[in-house]
Amino acid sequence: MSRGEPVAIVGAGIAGLTAALCFARKGIPAEIFEQAAVLSEAGAGLQLSPNATRILTRLGLLPRLEQVWSEPEAINLVSGTSLRTIASVPSGPFARDRWKAPYGVLHRADLQKNLLDAVDANPLCRLHLGIQTDDPARDSIARILSKRPRLVVGADGVWSKIRNRIEGAGKATFSGNVARRLTLGEADAPAVFDSMKVTAFLGGGSHLVAYPLPKTRSFNVVAITGGRNPSEALEDRTPPQEDARQRLLDAFSSWHPQIIDMLRDAAEPTIWPLHEVSDGAWYQGEEVVLIGDAAHAMMPFAAQGAAMAIEDAFELASFVADGRPLAAFADHRKSRVARVRSRGAFNRFAYHARGPVRIGRDLVLSLRRPESLAADFDWLYGYEPRD
């Protein structure tokens, strides 16, 4: 049974589509507005930790996701120079048992397709493509719908136009880090890549993550280093090939030959300068609110960008359905996001450590049992969202 006026969601990425399904689950109609005429998702692989899959399960998406993802047996931390395993966090059946939800890796496009199919099948959700919402968004959307939405949800990413209309909102800034993403066929992958594990290779000032994409029999590879030229973020993601390749090889010059050879021989990676959104206001009155990257884009060092967007969407729908103010939602979510950001900052320090700090890191991690390492993630992966 519909509960009155619809919410309007600007942006049809993971945050926006998930939000529509979460509102519909509460009986609230959702109108999604996307400026692109055709939905396409940039990027390649995606990690979905148990705090995200717990929510996707409640939305009824788990059976279809299980058909296109892999549940890695473990998440390994490996030295980028020696290829020695430093530490391992068990996953697979262990994750389902300890955190009561799976840990999956898949292509980002497969998640978006599952969300889109669920939106298309839900009578309380309606997607509008090729729609540019003018300022102010609520008035623009009212003209399209012939009625004012009860709420405008800005789910339009790090370059959010909705955020620009909120007084005191955060700003998108270049982080000083650059991600280079590529997909590597199983036959072309170095022997150290494990099709049953997520592997994070650690090195001085840089790290590289590789995990399987079973649907395409390939590996998603993301190499993160310090970088420059933040103007590349919007337009020029593909500088001249020789220059881009050399920058990448220079950043990993001290690494193990298996990794260097892989980076030298692989197809040209896509370059993504990484931006984050500073802390600021997430809402305006009771009319506009931000979720996901529009509110708090963060670095990928904790692999929680998509998960935080999914949590935002689920809990926003719960707060709105209960008639609670947007201030309460923002306060509730900000404490959670701040803790995740802190974890990401710690991971960046640990992953990119050099010299004596690196030696100390390796020693401390090597002395801890896998179950003890897993316990460090209970607050993150075991999170029970407000429903």
What distance in Å separates the CA atoms of residue 381 and residue 375, rounded to the nearest whole number? 10
More confidently predicted of 99 and 269: 99
Is residue 317, in this structure, part of any structural domain at all? yes
Is residue 237, in this structure, part of any structural domain at all? no
More confidently predicted of 147 and 344: 344
Q: Are strands 30-34 and 125-129 parallel, antiparallel or unpaired?
A: parallel
| The pLDDT value given to residue 235 | 44
pLDDT in tens, 243-278: 777 888 989 999 999 999 999 988 888 888 899 999
What distance in Å separates the CA atoms of residue 251 and residue 260, rounded to the nearest whole number? 10
Is residue 87, in this structure, part of any structural domain at all? no
Instruction: Report the CATH number at residue 39.
Output: 3.50.50.60
Is residue 196, in this structure, part of any structural domain at all? no
Tell me what the pLDDT averaged over the chain comes to.
91
Is residue 58, in this structure, part of any structural domain at all? yes
In which residue are the tokens 């001249």 written? Answer: 240
Report the range of poorest mean pLDDT among 74-83, 143-152, 249-258, 299-308. Answer: 143-152
Count Cα atoms within 13 angstroms, Cβ side, for 215.
17
What distance in Å separates the CA atoms of residue 153 and residue 139, rounded to the nearest whole number? 14
What distance in Å separates the CA atoms of residue 215 and residue 110, rounded to the nearest whole number? 9
Instruction: Look up the domain containing 326 and give its range.
Output: 7-71+108-171+277-345
Most confident of the following: 129-143, 154-168, 225-239, 352-366: 154-168
| The pLDDT value given to residue 146 | 82
| The pLDDT value given to residue 241 | 54
| pLDDT confidence bin for 354, thresholds 50/70/90 | confident
Is residue 352, in this structure, part of any structural domain at all? no
Residue 116 has pLDDT above 70, yes or no: yes
Counting the structural domains of the chain, the total is 1
Is residue 165, in this structure, part of any structural domain at all? yes
Closest CA to 21 of 163, 142, 117: 117
| The pLDDT value given to residue 240 | 52
Q: Is 209 helix (H, G, I), strand (E, B) or coil?
A: strand
Axis-axis angle for helices 305-321, 14-25 (nearest 10)? 30
Is residue 217, in this structure, part of any structural domain at all? no
In which residue are the tokens 């689950």 written? Answer: 25
